[in-house]
Structure 1
Amino acid sequence: MAESFTETFAAGLAGYGSNPCIEFDRRWYSGDEIAAYGTAIADALRAAGVDDDAPVGLVVRNRLPHAAAIIGFLAAGRTVSMIYSFQSPEAIARDIETLRLSAVVADAEDWSPPVVDAAARTGSAGLAISLQPPIVAPVPGLAHRDAAQTHAAAEPGVALQILTSGTTGPPKRQSIKTPVLQRTVFSVTSGEAAPADAPPELAYWQFGGIGVCQLIAGIYNGRRVAMLERFSVDDYVDMIRRHRIKRSGVQPAVIRMLLDADVAKEDLASLDFLISASGPLDPETHDEFESKYGIPIVLAYGATEFAGSLCAWTPDLQREFGTAKRHSVGRALPDVELRIVDPDTGTQLAAGAQGLLEAKVAPIGPDWIRTTDIASIDTDGFVTLHGRADGAINRGGFKIMPETVRRVLISHPAVRDACVVGVPDARLGQVPFAAIEVSAGVPAPSADELADLVRRSLPVYNVPVAFTVVEELPRNPALKVSLPAVAALYDAG
């Protein structure tokens, strides 16, 4: 009988033993150390009266204790529900109250008064994790789960609840079942098992969302993992140079940042190629990078809902079609079927026609899942993306829904109406900009006040880079706000 994902993952962790497993902050931690951290968390949860199969929340950061917690939960078969740490304390508290989990694990610094109060109201046990002793400790007042309160039950087969980037609204948790995680590993590694002396898997994408796949794939395959808490050009280049990384998945913004920093060609010389994902890479940046560094960029496409990539390039495809179809995201992976449909009728369109992309992913189920991406598929089966159908703003890989931000802004008593649009940004691709119509007879709120309002309600990447106050929002003859005219206000400023 074939091993389950959980069994294979646990075996992958056990296989490190005293050998290096994860590098964080320039120190290697052995497999034994990572496993011991996970055991300490499990013991603390048990002492807090939390059942071994109860889902647990993790206010996640890209730090060693959080990576060890995720690894420990997966190896034990316990569901972990991600909570973004870069929200305001009030937003974290709202998530905790909504989830109603038996326990919440968070960095010591994230146990702010609003977060502690929310866990107390829901009767959740609280654990503080740290690299400094004590590495795992109960939060004062939250040492035990309140058994008198009802908490979320285990969902059979669910390994992770990861957060989408908010394409269709505020980020939502997507339940990922253990069989689906096997295709996640495949989509990250293209099915290749790296040799023992291979460079480490480089993990810097946020673990709260699909970025956790970099960590999971590394451990599943028994490969060393080099972690960054957050991306910076200097730290990223240092990792590439020190570990002689051969391939790396990056957001388009990273490619632009490397160019802007004028990174020395020899510092990236180990790279065989980069994989650009999470958003469109403009052809000019694509060409400029390849011309400057001689490193091919291959495009990939996936989403949280699919637990990884839908399309990819293999070395054979790259050799045969790499030049002719270099702006394609590749062909469908073996367990994926793709089609293009008319957004209004749902009718499948002919090769080359643009429409909405739909996917059927075997491990997920037999149904076609509609995306909000406009795409086309040519006669050779290569997919090209042409933008989004939903008007989402893609800020360096984070998706922002303008209407979500607008609703926050108009909650201010002085704001009569508002419009939020994406405007071009050389580094991030797009950033949000807001035009504000103020109610008559009241002073206009300051930009800082409006930014703080958004920051308290939504993840920080939703905060507009600028605000302008207008007497009336520009409208077209149908009395709808003209989005191009609003964007032009940014240009005029």
Structure 2
Amino acid sequence: MWSAATSHRSVRHNGGVTERLTASIAAALNSYGDRPCIEFRGRWYTGDEVSAYGGAIAARLREAGVADDAPVGLIVRNRLQHAATIAGFLAVGRTVSMIYSFQSPEAIARDVERLNLSAVVADAEDWTSPVVAAAAGIGSAGIAVSLTEPIVDHVAGLERRDSSKTHAPAEPGVALQILTSGTTGPPKRQAIRIHVLERTVFSVTAGEKAAADAPPEFAYWQFGGIGVCQLIAGIYNGRRIAMMERFSVEGWVDAVKRHRVARAGVQPAVIRMLLDADVPPADLASLEFLISASGPLDPETRDEFEERYGIPIRLAYGATEFAGSLCAWTPDMLRDFGETKRNSVGRPLPDTELRIIDAETEAVLPPGKQGLLEAKVAPIGAHWIRTTDIASIDDDGFVTLHGRADGAINRGGFKVQPEAVRRVLMSHPAVRDACVVGVPDPRLGQVPFAAIEIFPGAAMPSDDELKDVVRQALPVYNVPVAFAAVDELPRNPALKVSLPAVAALYDG
């Protein structure tokens, strides 16, 4: 079992906030006891079973000569044993650094070498020859976790950390090193400090303490990234957690129906998938609303979903570097502005200040003007953090997103906004979805190229037809040079379209 005394031993130097949150998570884990804690693959695991992983991992790390405060890597998957590992490390104040599992063994091995940690935890299947060799090369201990006995064990040949080698030290106050969604390339790591996790819990729960008989926290976003917030919030508040390994329409709908889930955050792609699967409205009857985040949701899809199911969709905005949301809709806002500000992501949270700046002059822009969004989040610090999102803030303080600045295509000096071109392409009745990316051009530097998803049964429009659609709505430099028809746009495990994979479709 986790105890406050155990957690304080390793983190007292980080201060009262660290101790308080660590002790709170430890106490929350202990509070489950023999009650259901996490559901995985149709089975509920008790708090005692979840805690058993933490105790077993702690014992193996001590046997391996790993210091109590040393950061540990986790080749992370959405599985019970990984959820238990994350919760256990947080309960004792040990930093966990996420390693992306959806890549080749050789790429995982390079991550292991680059991180240079005292120990790495992974499923047996991820302890491939390249990964074992990488860990051995840097002198890292290896721990294998499993759903079957032994649930935690040493990896052969990696039973002890090589004490003659220097490994990455703990960075004071850092709880997690999580991964970005990897839309534009390999996921990057973002340090989340433990005092910021209190903000994470608030942004997920809006400060609400769920009743004992409330539906479980529904966790299906990938734990390696911002999805870990759902797991942490659930445990912190002592709620049951229903988790999915990977998203599927069937599995998601089953969980909503069985657990009577009242609200859930979804990626825009999920809303389209639910519509395409023609899910019966009765299966989603428990939902009071959905929160669409992690990318733009086109108005047509939103309208179609709300009309078919009668379930409102609220737009939200957050980012990995903020460990949660920046904006939210409150009941009062919905009552007063729900219709007139429908395309907004809401107003800033109480601990957040937002402003819009001109990308060239860095001057702060007045209400209604579009520019780069900057945020100042009290728990993170007193400095302004610049995002790559183009946004505007109106006179009432409501924020509207207009695309991403880092995705702009520089076509011979003319800036092309991919989201604007995508929106125009989707106005064609045959186009279900689209993605526009920049591809190299020897004369202009970059030119726009589009991959197109067509509605089932529809004929693929000709390139000339699609070019005309764009030409009629936007300046000519926005017209893609070519189009590729795909059954489905390539997506990563976070359900975001992979821009490098789309660019690879261009045959030049």
TM class by shorter chain equals: 0.7 to 0.9
Q: Which moved more, 1:311-320 or 1:248-257?
A: 311-320
Whole-Å Cα distance in 2 between the matches of residues 188 and 423 of structure 1? 34
Aligned residues: 426
Q: 8 Å contact 1:23–1:227 — kept in the other structure?
A: yes
Q: Residue 507 of structure 2 is aligned with which of 469, 484, 487?
A: 469
The DSSP-based 3-state class of the residue aligned with 2:38 is strand
User: Per the alignment, do residues 386 and 460 of structure 1 end up closer, same or farther by CA in structure 2, a change over 3 Å counting?
Assistant: closer
Whole-Å Cα distance in 2 between the matches of residues 304 and 380 of structure 1? 26
Whole-Å Cα distance in 2 between the matches of residues 418 and 339 of structure 1? 31
The DSSP-based 3-state class of the residue aligned with 1:206 is coil
Q: 8 Å contact 2:136–2:157 — kept in the other structure?
A: yes
- The one-character-per-residue Cα deviations of 1:325-358 (angstroms, maximum 9, x if unpaired) are 1111000000000000001111110100000000
Matching of residues 194-209 of structure 1 within 5 Å: 194-209=210-225
Displacement after TM superposition at 1:166 (Å): 4.0
Higher relative contact order (CA 8 A, sep 6+): 1
Structure 2's unaligned 5+ residue stretches are 1-15, 409-417, 423-434, 456-491
2:35 is equivalent to residue 19 of structure 1:
yes
Q: 8 Å contact 1:22–1:225 — kept in the other structure?
A: yes
AA aligned to 1:467 is: L
2:80 is equivalent to residue 64 of structure 1:
yes
User: Per the alignment, do residues 189 and 87 of structure 1 end up closer, same or farther by CA in structure 2, a change over 3 Å counting?
Assistant: same
The DSSP-based 3-state class of the residue aligned with 1:328 is coil
The DSSP-based 3-state class of the residue aligned with 1:387 is strand
Whole-Å Cα distance in 2 between the matches of residues 48 and 97 of structure 1? 18
The DSSP-based 3-state class of the residue aligned with 2:109 is helix
User: Which residue number in structure 2 is paired with residue 36 of structure 1?
Assistant: 52
Q: Residue 97 of structure 1 is aligned with which of 108, 113, 117?
A: 113
User: Which residue number in structure 2 is paired with residue 411 of structure 1?
Assistant: none
Whole-Å Cα distance in 2 between the matches of residues 304 and 243 of structure 1? 28
Q: Residue 327 of structure 1 is aligned with which of 343, 351, 356?
A: 343
Matching of residues 139-150 of structure 1 within 5 Å: 139-150=155-166
2:200 is equivalent to residue 162 of structure 1:
no
Whole-Å Cα distance in 2 between the matches of residues 72 and 331 of structure 1? 35
Q: Residue 451 of structure 2 is aligned with which of 409, 417, 423?
A: 423
Whole-Å Cα distance in 1 between the matches of residues 263 and 212 of structure 2? 16
Displacement after TM superposition at 1:54 (Å): 0.4
TM-score with structure 1 setting the length: 0.82
The DSSP-based 3-state class of the residue aligned with 1:334 is coil
Q: 8 Å contact 1:277–1:301 — kept in the other structure?
A: yes
The DSSP-based 3-state class of the residue aligned with 1:292 is helix
Q: Residue 255 of structure 1 is aligned with which of 271, 290, 298?
A: 271
- The one-character-per-residue Cα deviations of 1:6-58 (angstroms, maximum 9, x if unpaired) are 11111111111110000000100011110111111111111111111100000
The DSSP-based 3-state class of the residue aligned with 2:195 is helix
User: Which residue number in structure 1 is paired with residue 236 of structure 2?
Assistant: 220
Structure 1's unaligned 5+ residue stretches are 407-416, 428-453, 471-493
Q: 8 Å contact 2:184–2:500 — kept in the other structure?
A: no
Q: 8 Å contact 2:183–2:498 — kept in the other structure?
A: no
Whole-Å Cα distance in 1 between the matches of residues 383 and 454 of structure 2? 39
Q: Residue 173 of structure 1 is aligned with which of 158, 172, 189?
A: 189
The DSSP-based 3-state class of the residue aligned with 2:356 is strand
Q: 8 Å contact 2:436–2:451 — kept in the other structure?
A: no
TM-score with structure 2 setting the length: 0.80
AA aligned to 1:145 is: R
Whole-Å Cα distance in 2 between the matches of residues 350 and 105 of structure 1? 50
Q: Which runs of 4+ in 1 moved over 2 A?
A: 165-171, 392-395, 400-403, 417-427, 459-470
User: Per the alignment, do residues 309 and 418 of structure 1 end up closer, same or farther by CA in structure 2, a change over 3 Å counting?
Assistant: same
AA aligned to 1:463 is: A
User: Which residue number in structure 1 is paired with residue 464 of structure 2?
Assistant: none
Q: 8 Å contact 2:29–2:235 — kept in the other structure?
A: yes
Q: Percent identity?
A: 70
Q: 8 Å contact 1:356–1:373 — kept in the other structure?
A: yes
Q: 8 Å contact 1:167–1:401 — kept in the other structure?
A: no
Whole-Å Cα distance in 2 between the matches of residues 468 and 167 of structure 1? 18
2:118 is equivalent to residue 80 of structure 1:
no
Displacement after TM superposition at 1:422 (Å): 5.5
The DSSP-based 3-state class of the residue aligned with 1:469 is coil
